[in-house]
Structure 1
Amino acid sequence: MTRFPRATAVAEAVRAGHSSARAETEAALVRIADGNPALNAFVTVDAERALSEAEAIDRRLAAGERPLLAGVPVAVKDTIWVAGRRVTQGSRLFGSFRAPADAIAVERLRAAGAVILGMANSSEFACKGVTTNPLFGPTRHPQHPNLTPGGSSGGPAVAVAGGLVPLALGTDAGGSSRRPPAHVGAVGFKPSFGAIPYGPGFAEPFTGIAVMAPIAADVADAALMFEALCGPDPRDPDSIAVAPMESRPPESLSVAYSPRFGLDTPIDEDVRQAVESAVEALERAGTHVVRRDLSWPAGVTETALMPLQHAGLAALYGDAFRRDPALFDPDIAVQIERGLTLTGAEVAAAQLLGVEVARSLAAFFTGADLLIGPTTPCVAWPLDRLGPDTIGGQVVPPRAHAVFTPLFNHAKVPALSLPCGTGRNGLPVGLQVIAPRGLDRRVLRFAAYSETVLAAGGQGHPG
């Protein structure tokens, strides 16, 4: 796979005059032309517009500006508004939609000097754990093209892990920008809810928990992108300011390790061993790790919370589904059908359970600075399946691969997936790092420390 300089190196070179935004854009366009046909990470690329934007950035630099992401090529998930670009949500309903405005996060990418190369593939409405849709088909794993990278931000994750661009912007309402990075060996960061302003854009099926999520090749790049995007904006009433960087060294923090996050769910042995090895490496480096499980409210499972997504899809697209079900991905159609049958009491029960999840995790953090554990219970699986047939030797339902991420969305806390080694067939495994809401920089700093520790021990990035 063609490799590329990290975003931090690109921005430094462009700011110093050793490269230019146009040169970096031209190089990325060559990488996309060479690598994307096999991956299907990008679904649309606008070379002419990207080069024009790059030249405008070079003029800003000539005038004395030194933007944070100067000249860095970026992929944007095909659910996020980019003004004037075709943005489809992977849906036939929006096949010809042109975004009338930039999302605030995209505005901030532009202000920081990034160059938007194009739109990256997503499952329809970002509501499926693999990346395929009726418009563009599947995105493929960069190491094994017969495997899926997961979803829904598989396109952005593969654009980075496949060596096409240094940075990508995804979304995460249940793990969509942590699980695909874990499967392909990238870093995926779900900030605190509101840390990066959301919208303007499409209405969300899962309201109140979705975030904009940086995806990068390493933690330093993810942190750089986060700094360019975070901070409140009056157009998003949920946007918040996050805490400044703490002075405490990462190894002084109290870190709770939970092998299954307190959930009664299977995990594959190769994933368990990779995560355990990473935790042991952190302990040897002097990290204060305590093995401690979470105690969730009774009845907490991802299934118990899914009525919120199903009802949201039904509210947004139920009428169109009734008129023509064939317009939709069959897997999304099943969710809409379920949503149309739900009662108000069932939806309210799921909402109340989400509130209790947030309270339970807040109580847990009174006794720990950070929480770590697996991002997923399995490595990547065949492209033609919604999920692996078995995990941990047990036959499992299709969403069993997704169990370790959604609760942290409902809790509105920051969570990052960091490569921590490999499982069978050399496939990447992710370690998830979580902190209380607003302590995003604590997560990023500890993840950077962990990345260094794991790299010294021969773990971490697979290539």
Structure 2
Amino acid sequence: MSSRSAAATVEMVRRRSASAVEMAEQAIRRITDRADLNAVVDFDPEEGLRRAQAVDRRLADGEALPLAGLPVVVKDNIWVAGRRVTQGSLLFRDFVPDRSAVVVERLERAGAVIVGMGNTPEFACKGQTTNRVYGATRHPADPALTPGGSSGGSAVAVAAGLVPAAIGTDGGGSGRRPPAHVGVVGFKPSFGALPYGPGFPEPFTGIATIAPIARTVTDTELLFEALVGPDLRDPDSAPLAGDRAGDARALRIGVSPRFGFNAPVDDVVAAAFAAVVDALDGAGYRLIDQDPAWPAAATEEALMPLQHAGLAAIHGAAFRATPDLFDPDVAAQIERGFAYDGPAVARARWLSHDIARAAAACFGDVDFLIGPTVPCAAWAIERLGPETIGGAPVAPRAHAVFTPFFNHALTPAISIPMGRTPAGLPLGLQIVGARGQDRRVLQVAAAFERILADAGLWAGLPVEEHGRA
């Protein structure tokens, strides 16, 4: 496993102490050696080397490339021109797009080398990473466990050191929960900060984002800055404010152990978060107890008509014609989508808007919210979710409780490693800011990263390995 950071990789290639081809070869060897993880799919070493050779030629011609030679995995629901992109569905097992998503164009323009696609559940619509095209992605610490979903392949590729960075998507926590479960950083930017598409239609419209994933906040920020900015092809994309805070200790940090939900949390998660709060208090941060005041009707189940009806609208005809091609769990979502009427979908849309307003009101009182990313550690690979959390029996989606509302709120949210269970499984700390405050969220996350490392609470790459000690 490589512990080299993305920033160090880029610096080596830019200084010509290593070539993009050499970095690609190392990533290819690691991906091949850890094929058991099933994290990287549609893996073509020859194509990766061709892409790396092109980067070396550009460097020789004098181009300045901010991601020079950086091996990257891209989630298998993001279009990469000329590559097979299946979104984990047998319907698309032979689909090859003729154009790339804007973020892919920007990755390659910046000098990154795409070495493979990150595995994802069908249509990125499950909280575990398994599908009928490629099978299940396994947790790098224990192959009997799932990394969660839906950006599980991308998160595992980074956590296992196959590549220094990856791109996922996040429509309800998919770019934060898998990173939390495997001990890396996952960032959901503000809606519209990174252009989305061209690509597959989303069942949940108006909330999904591209999600940079890396092993440190510094590396995540490096990736984000190469991708950020509007593009005319995405009418939802918009310019982002460029300001950062002065002294982060002057900011108001809202402490929210359950983010305003009456939800069970494993004792080990609650203890890890309490230790983080103590460390921040000892470092002089201004901490305020603060929970969002969500609408009374707000539950994830009340929002699900948007996803299920969206799946039925997009894939319903194909499902009725060829139901055997669909994952049974996704098929059940489509069946539920058929059953909803128009008013039910409209009520869910209004509730989504009310959640965004509630989050905006909360950020009038504090600058950031912090709490656990997930209420539990990773669970058995064959299950949709853990059987119990906090000692209580739970529904399959109970593991996802702390992330989806911040998609509907359109706000930036980042997960950074926050300690481990006694069995050595990573946990995550979620930091959320007001919409448009992405760079401040990254700034605060980087400061917290150092504090957690000093306190022995960092569960990811040791901070001294990437020069932040």
What's the secondary structure of 1:351's corresponding residue?
A: helix
Corresponding residue of 2:381: 383
Corresponding residue of 1:248: 246
Q: Structure 1 stretches (4+) deviating beyond 2 angstroms?
A: none
How far does the alpha carbon of each residue in 1:180-233 deviate from its partner, in whole angstroms, 9 at most, with x for none? Answer: 000000000000001000100011111100100000001000000000000011
How far does the alpha carbon of each residue in 1:230-270 deviate from its partner, in whole angstroms, 9 at most, with x for none? Answer: 00111111001111132412222110010001111111100
Corresponding residue of 2:467: none
Aligned 8 A contact 2:39 2:137 in 1: yes
2:374 corresponds to 1:371? no
Unaligned runs of 5+ in 2: 462-469
Corresponding residue of 2:464: none
Q: Which amino acid aligns with 1:392?
A: G
Corresponding residue of 2:4: 5
Please list, as runs of the form range in 1=range in 2, the aligned pairs for 1:330-349 lying within 5 A after superposition: 330-349=328-347
Please list, as runs of the form range in 1=range in 2, the aligned pairs for 1:23-42 lying within 5 A after superposition: 23-35=22-34, 37-42=35-40
Separation in structure 2 between the aligned mates of residue 45 and residue 109 of structure 1, nearest angstrom: 18
Q: What is the TM-score when the length of structure 2 is the normalising length?
A: 0.97
Separation in structure 2 between the aligned mates of residue 263 and residue 247 of structure 1, nearest angstrom: 29
1:424 Cα deviation from its structure 2 partner: 3.6
Aligned 8 A contact 1:169 1:214 in 2: yes
Instruction: Choose which of 185, 188, 206 in structure 2 pairs with 1:187.
Output: 185
Instruction: Choose which of 297, 300, 303 in structure 2 pairs with 1:299.
Output: 297
What's the secondary structure of 1:67's corresponding residue?
A: coil
2:18 corresponds to 1:19? yes
1:137 Cα deviation from its structure 2 partner: 0.8
Aligned 8 A contact 1:11 1:69 in 2: yes
Corresponding residue of 1:146: 144
Separation in structure 2 between the aligned mates of residue 111 and residue 5 of structure 1, nearest angstrom: 22
What's the secondary structure of 2:294's corresponding residue?
A: coil
Q: Which amino acid aligns with 2:22?
A: A
Separation in structure 2 between the aligned mates of residue 314 and residue 158 of structure 1, nearest angstrom: 30
Aligned 8 A contact 1:153 1:176 in 2: yes
Corresponding residue of 1:224: 222
Separation in structure 1 between the aligned mates of residue 62 and residue 2 of structure 2, nearest angstrom: 30
Change (3 A) 1:103 1:462: closer
How far does the alpha carbon of each residue in 1:349-406 deviate from its partner, in whole angstroms, 9 at most, with x for none? Answer: 0000000000000011011111111101100000010000111111110000001000
Corresponding residue of 2:198: 200
What's the secondary structure of 2:430's corresponding residue?
A: strand
Separation in structure 1 between the aligned mates of residue 47 and residue 320 of structure 2, nearest angstrom: 38
Separation in structure 1 between the aligned mates of residue 261 and residue 412 of structure 2, nearest angstrom: 19
What's the secondary structure of 2:423's corresponding residue?
A: helix
Separation in structure 2 between the aligned mates of residue 12 and residue 143 of structure 1, nearest angstrom: 29
Aligned 8 A contact 1:4 1:165 in 2: no
Q: Which amino acid aligns with 1:19?
A: A
Between 438-447 and 249-258, the greater mean CA deviation after superposition: 249-258
Between 61-70 and 140-149, the greater mean CA deviation after superposition: 61-70
Aligned 8 A contact 2:215 2:460 in 1: no
Between 233-242 and 182-191, the greater mean CA deviation after superposition: 233-242
Separation in structure 2 between the aligned mates of residue 290 and residue 417 of structure 1, nearest angstrom: 20
How far does the alpha carbon of each residue in 1:131-167 deviate from its partner, in whole angstroms, 9 at most, with x for none? Answer: 0001111000000100000000000000000110001
1:326 Cα deviation from its structure 2 partner: 1.3
What's the secondary structure of 1:188's corresponding residue?
A: strand
1:324 Cα deviation from its structure 2 partner: 2.0
What's the secondary structure of 2:136's corresponding residue?
A: coil
Separation in structure 2 between the aligned mates of residue 157 and residue 408 of structure 1, nearest angstrom: 20
Between 350-359 and 276-285, the greater mean CA deviation after superposition: 276-285
Corresponding residue of 1:87: 85
Instruction: Choose which of 374, 399, 407 in structure 2 pairs with 1:409.
Output: 407
Corresponding residue of 1:314: 312
Corresponding residue of 1:422: 420
Aligned-residue CA RMSD (Å): 0.8
Q: Which amino acid aligns with 2:340?
A: L
1:3 Cα deviation from its structure 2 partner: 1.9
Corresponding residue of 1:48: 46
Separation in structure 1 between the aligned mates of residue 61 and residue 243 of structure 2, nearest angstrom: 31
Instruction: Choose which of 73, 87, 95 in structure 1 pairs with 2:71.
Output: 73
What's the secondary structure of 1:53's corresponding residue?
A: helix
Separation in structure 2 between the aligned mates of residue 245 and residue 355 of structure 1, nearest angstrom: 26
Aligned 8 A contact 2:188 2:210 in 1: yes
Q: Which amino acid aligns with 1:280?
A: D
Aligned 8 A contact 1:422 1:462 in 2: no
Separation in structure 2 between the aligned mates of residue 414 and residue 170 of structure 1, nearest angstrom: 15
Separation in structure 1 between the aligned mates of residue 351 and residue 198 of structure 2, nearest angstrom: 28
How far does the alpha carbon of each residue in 1:415-452 deviate from its partner, in whole angstroms, 9 at most, with x for none? Answer: 00000101241110100000011110011000000000
Unaligned runs of 5+ in 1: none
Q: Which amino acid aligns with 2:90?
A: R
Corresponding residue of 1:98: 96
Corresponding residue of 1:451: 449
Separation in structure 1 between the aligned mates of residue 213 and residue 255 of structure 2, nearest angstrom: 24
What's the secondary structure of 1:367's corresponding residue?
A: coil
1:63 Cα deviation from its structure 2 partner: 1.3
How far does the alpha carbon of each residue in 1:7-35 deviate from its partner, in whole angstroms, 9 at most, with x for none? Answer: 10011111111111111001110111111
1:461 Cα deviation from its structure 2 partner: 2.3
Separation in structure 2 between the aligned mates of residue 88 and residue 177 of structure 1, nearest angstrom: 18
Separation in structure 2 between the aligned mates of residue 281 and residue 249 of structure 1, nearest angstrom: 17
Aligned 8 A contact 1:148 1:382 in 2: yes
Instruction: Quote the sequence identity (%).
Output: 58
What's the secondary structure of 1:348's corresponding residue?
A: helix
Instruction: Choose which of 257, 260, 264 in structure 1 pairs with 2:258.
Output: 260
What's the secondary structure of 2:411's corresponding residue?
A: coil
Instruction: Choose which of 116, 120, 123 in structure 1 pairs with 2:121.
Output: 123
How far does the alpha carbon of each residue in 1:66-87 deviate from its partner, in whole angstroms, 9 at most, with x for none? Answer: 2111000000000000000000
Separation in structure 2 between the aligned mates of residue 224 and residue 462 of structure 1, nearest angstrom: 17
Separation in structure 2 between the aligned mates of residue 170 and residue 431 of structure 1, nearest angstrom: 18
Separation in structure 1 between the aligned mates of residue 237 and residue 345 of structure 2, nearest angstrom: 25
Q: Which amino acid aligns with 1:54?
A: A
